[in-house]
Amino acid sequence: MLFRKIILTVFMSAVGCGLFAQTKEVRGIVLDADESTPLVAASVGALAVGSKTEVVKSTITDLDGRFRMDVPVGTQELLVVYVGYERQIVACGTELVKVLLSPESLDIADVIVTGYGKIDRRKSTASVSSINLTDVSQASMGVDQMLKGTMAGVNVTTVSGTPGAPAKIRIRGTSSLQGTQDPLWVVDGMPLEGTDLPKLENLSGIDELYSSAIAGINPQDIASVSVLRDAAATAIYGARAANGVIVVNTKSGKKGRIHVNYSGKLSVVARPDVGRLGLLTSSEKVGLELDLLRSSYTTFEKKGGVSRILQAYGELNTYKSGGFSALSSAAQEEINALRDISTDWNRELFRSALSHDHFLSVSGGADWADYYVSAGYFNEAGAVRGVNASRINLTSKTRFHFGERVDIGVSLLANQRKNNSFLSNTDGYTNPVFYSRAVNPYLRIYDASGNYVYDPDMRGFGRDDDVIRYNIVEERSNTRYDLTNLAFTAVFDLSWRIWRGLTLESQAGVQYDERKLVASALGESYAVRRELQRSRLSDGSSYIPKGGFYRNTDGHSFQYTVKNMLRYVETFKAMHSLDVMIGNELRRASDESIFSAGYGYDADALTTKMVRFTREDQGRYTPLFKRNYAENAFVSFFGTVSYTLLSRYTLGGSVRFDGSNLFGVDPKYRYLPLYSVSAMWDVKQESFLENVNWLSDLRLRASYGLQGNVDKNTYSTLVGVLRHDAFFYPQQGGGEREGEDNITIESPPNSRLRWEKTRTYNIGLDVSFASYRVKLALDYYDRLSSDLIGMRKLPLESGFAYTTVNWSRLTNRGVDVNASVLVLKVEGFEWNIQSNFSYNYNRIDRLTTQDNSRRPSGEGYPVGGIFVLPYVGIDQYGYPLLRGARGESLLISELLRLRRVGPSNVSRLSPAEERALFVYAGTEEPPYSMGVTTSFSWGGIELSLSAVGNFGHKFLVQPYYSFTQYDRGLNTTKQIFSRWTDDNPSGTLPRLMTEKDLGRASEYTAYDEGYQKLLSLYVRDASYVRLQSVRLSYAFPSELLKRVKISSASVAVEGRNLLVWGKDYDGFIDPETMKNPYAQPIPKSVSLSLTLGF
């Protein structure tokens, strides 16, 4: 019996061996179809007979792109797959199989570059949008401006038309209240420092220049930009990614012949039209001044051209009592002469300007190296006279190939940016944009002898007798405000393919930025005259010497980043794909600025004089030296994993641990993990959709994760400020008070300080129809930002009433939609439409309202919420009426229950009761945004149009005129003619009031203290649609160019910002800038460009 079992076992083993031996060997090589270079680690699978998807055996190519495996004898076809290339099914036999794979279209299945690796879009679980900058008009100066309207979820707001001004960017709303709200910029894998921007919409001078580090990147050096929106894409960046990440990939050389490219652009910027402001003409302004002198409004009655003429003739009271006919003929003639003077301030302050841009690049490569070198120069003249910007770029990228295993890359990027202006923030009136609204139309610039005419209505410090000589043309000539930025970035990277599928990637980068800001003024300037007045002593002299001043700020920042990643990528049996990465990162950044000032400046001798302070506190108001220094460091450990089954089911995850000196010292909070988990299902690969030909692609995505953000202005340590204050009078003899050194504690220590966290859910759908002619990407997200830095009340025994802690909360929810349609493609004609739409719901869930605050904190409302007193009209005497709690119409004295205590008002309401009177009027952040681009091409002709829009947001604009302090010495808009007066009782706007009118001192004082700026009367709908670009280009036929040995050539003409449709911006030049009367208007421009390739 045992013998039989042994015989049977031997027999079955022999049969099994015989069956197993029914195989054949298949050999081959996989190459890039364009470059004929080997594709390493491409997956090659033997397909089961009769199937296009079932793989019975697989392998991957070696370092030479070759493969070799034994397959069943009946195998007829192989499935070849490689990331970023079109998959291919090829026949196999006994001969060597040569497979040429073509790169996939970027529109269909491109490679996403995240800064921590490349991801096949077919396997991507994240919400990422990418654009190729060759498809985007490059008429604007910076890449931040160029992103406007190009993708959903990215809201780009132009807050100023100043040359080189950065844009305000919000990705899926605002995720922080006190920390940075700007996205993280990453260039060629290296995060940039110097991209956190100030509150740009609040800047009041054209000389308040700020240049973001990203502004130094030449758009023509950029190959593509990817915006990472959800946690699956951004969590790997740790405590810097809650505001989204923008990844910039610059151009590189390719193997092949040398390519030389030149592009040049000439642009004309149109002069802004201040006619939209509705300012008074000379005749209207003279008429207004005459009317006011005979009214009960006596404030500033000695100002204005009419009043000065009457005072000069001693006939002011004569006019008040008898009117114009009672005046002498000489006074009448001089007043009438004012009506005939009409200075064209629009032409004097603004201009049509010429800008030009030049770019040259050389690229190429061989088996052992490839290279890309470029140089660029850009010069932009602003629409405001005296304002200019320029940029010089030098870029060098080289990548060396050491065999098939090792690549070493060196990228060097250098740029110099200059912004030139004149001093315009001495006070609000010196800003040329604001001054264009305030200057009298009858004021001349020069007198008959060619001397400057000074504006006699420019007050110094609020007193009628403090008139400081001011002429804006003189100021433009005698003051300077120049900002120069010099930036250098070097990135060194190493890629070592250690073994099949195992790669070590290392990157070391340094960024150095140097900035120099010079503000100078000659003695004959308003800026210096105002300084002398401000420093005036009791005897009339000044502790500042006569002459000019020279203020210099030198700053520099430095950062280095070292990043190491070990990545393993493998495909098993053409069914299982695994991508695992672990890494660490070390980063340190420092920033230093030194301010120095000299007074009594002589521009010819280049000398200054000694400042003779008489009191120590004067040094605080006129500092001669300041130094600021900040340093922070991060150490991080991170990892990612991605697993794909059958090329249709993908699971992903990432985790990162960050440590930094910006966090508290409590070990519990120093290394809290930030992470993400995600999944993707390629539904189109399922068998039940295999024959649905009208459906080209269908993928579902889902992700959840935790992102981080750092508030660099909040400290975990005790913060105090050393001061020297005068507390005591001398014991004998009187005189100045004596000073003592003291430390003012600003915030207590907080060992539990940690980064702000944002928890994000994302569900996405990618679908394409009709052979990818119609494509749609739809995302829904829910973001909860917690542990936000905010104020919180403390027990009084702590010694502090409030402090900043991780406590506040914020919610963002919304939808992003990206769509593209190839409408028509026939006989060389093509019509494309690309569009995007975003909706963002934003709410502050938790925020402290201080007990003594009389204004709402915004809790329960969106970031940027506007709270106002509800204005319902005016009473029979022209006083504003406001809506009460029960809907009744009340005067402000009744609404606030005011009572007079000396010269001031005191409300009988508690702070909480007063807060309840304010109503929510909307948010400054647009909840809806859109962008649409359509292009028509036929032969070498292409016409493209793009429009952008923001909707649903409001602005609280400046009052049309001050009820209590209207300065008749300044111009205003025609809105003032709609005010109530004795002669115009049907007027719809409030009257000009004084403290003595009708015994309503409380009304006057309340509005004089600022309540008039908080009326719903001044809330404007800021929705708009802008025709951003119209571009017509022509590419010359290649047959023609070959005759002159040119590979490519094209010309284009483009118009920018030609039209804007706004819902409610009457009286303003542009709806985007109407909130800030100091902002330069967004200019219209026309450009002509030429590109050549050799």
Residue 694 lies in a domain: no
Please check whether residue 609 lies inside any domain of the structure. Answer: no
Give the number of domains in the chain: 4
The gap from C-alpha 320 to its chain's centroid, in whole angstroms, comes to: 54
Burial 908-923 (b: 16+ CB within 10 A, else e): ebeeeebbebbeebbb
Contact 962, 1012 (CB under 8 A): yes
Calculate the CA dihedral of residues 769, 770, 773, 774 and round it to 10 degrees: -30
- pLDDT attached to residue 83: 66
Supply the DSSP symbol for 214.
G
CATH number at residue 68: 2.60.40.1120
Domain membership flag for residue 127: yes
Burial class (CB in 10 A: 0-12, 13-18, 19+), 637: middle
Residues 141 and 251 in one domain: yes
Shared domain check, 212 and 166: yes
pLDDT value of residue 733:
47
Same domain, 137 and 201: yes
Q: Are residues 240 and 140 in the same domain?
A: yes
DSSP 847-904: ----TT--S---TTS-TTEEEEB-EEEE-TTS-EEEE-TTS-EE-HHHHTTEEEETTE
Structural domain ending residue among the three candidates 318, 341, 364: 341
Whole-angstrom Cα distance, residue 902 to residue 329?
46
Question: Three-class SS of residue 559?
Answer: strand
Question: Does 327 lie in the same domain as 208?
Answer: no
Per-10-residue mean pLDDT of the chain, 1094 residues long, equals 42 39 83 77 82 77 83 87 79 83 57 67 77 58 80 86 82 86 87 64 50 77 87 82 87 88 93 89 95 91 93 93 92 94 92 93 91 94 90 94 90 92 81 90 93 84 66 94 93 91 92 94 93 86 92 94 92 83 93 95 92 84 91 90 89 90 68 88 87 89 89 73 63 54 76 84 93 92 90 75 83 95 90 95 90 88 94 93 91 86 79 92 94 93 94 93 90 94 92 81 79 92 94 91 88 94 89 85 91 92
Q: What is the pLDDT of residue 1077?
A: 83
Are 219 and 146 in the same domain?
yes
C-beta of residue 1045 within 8 angstroms of C-beta of residue 899: no
Q: What is the pLDDT of residue 35?
A: 66
User: How many CA within 13 A on the CB side of residue 243?
Assistant: 25
Residue type, position 529, single letter: R
What is the H or E stretch that residue 1049 is in? strand 1048-1062
Give the dihedral of Cα atoms 102, 104, 110, 115; nearest 10 deg. 10
Question: What's the CA gap between 997 and 322, in Å, rounded?
Answer: 22
- CB of 252 closer than 8 Å to CB of 424: no
Residue 219 and residue 123 share a domain: yes
Side by side, which strands form the sheet with 43-47? 55-60, 43-47, 77-81, 88-91
Domain end call among 311, 341, 371: 341
Q: Are residues 150 and 80 in the same domain?
A: no
In-domain check, residue 664:
no
b (16+ CB within 10 A) / e for 693-730: eeebbbbebbbbbbbbbbbeebbbeeeeeeeeeeeeee
Domain of 217: which CATH number?
Answer: 2.170.130.10
What's the pLDDT at 620? Answer: 81
Do both 178 and 88 map to the same domain?
A: no
Length of the chain, in residues: 1094
Residue 580 lies in a domain: no
The pLDDT assigned to 1054 comes to 95
459 within domain boundaries: no
Retrieve residue 865's tokens: 């919420």
Is there a single domain that holds both residue 200 and residue 336? no
Residue 77: domain span: 21-103
What six digits make up the tokens of 835? 């569009």
Q: Identify the domain boundary among 65, 80, 103.
A: 103
Please, is 612 exposed, middle or buried when counting C-beta atoms within 10 Å of its C-beta (0-12, 13-18, 19+)?
Answer: exposed
Do 96 and 123 sit in the same domain of this protein? no
Residue 845, classed as helix, strand or coil, is strand
- Asked whether residue 241 falls in the same domain as residue 133, the answer is yes
In a domain, 554, yes or no: no
Distance CA 444, CA 453 (A): 6
Bridge partner list, 591? 557, 630
- Longest CA pairwise span in the chain (Å): 146
**pTM, rounded to two decimals:** 0.85
Whether residue 306 is contained in a domain is answered as yes
The label of the residue with tokens 């299982």 reads 576
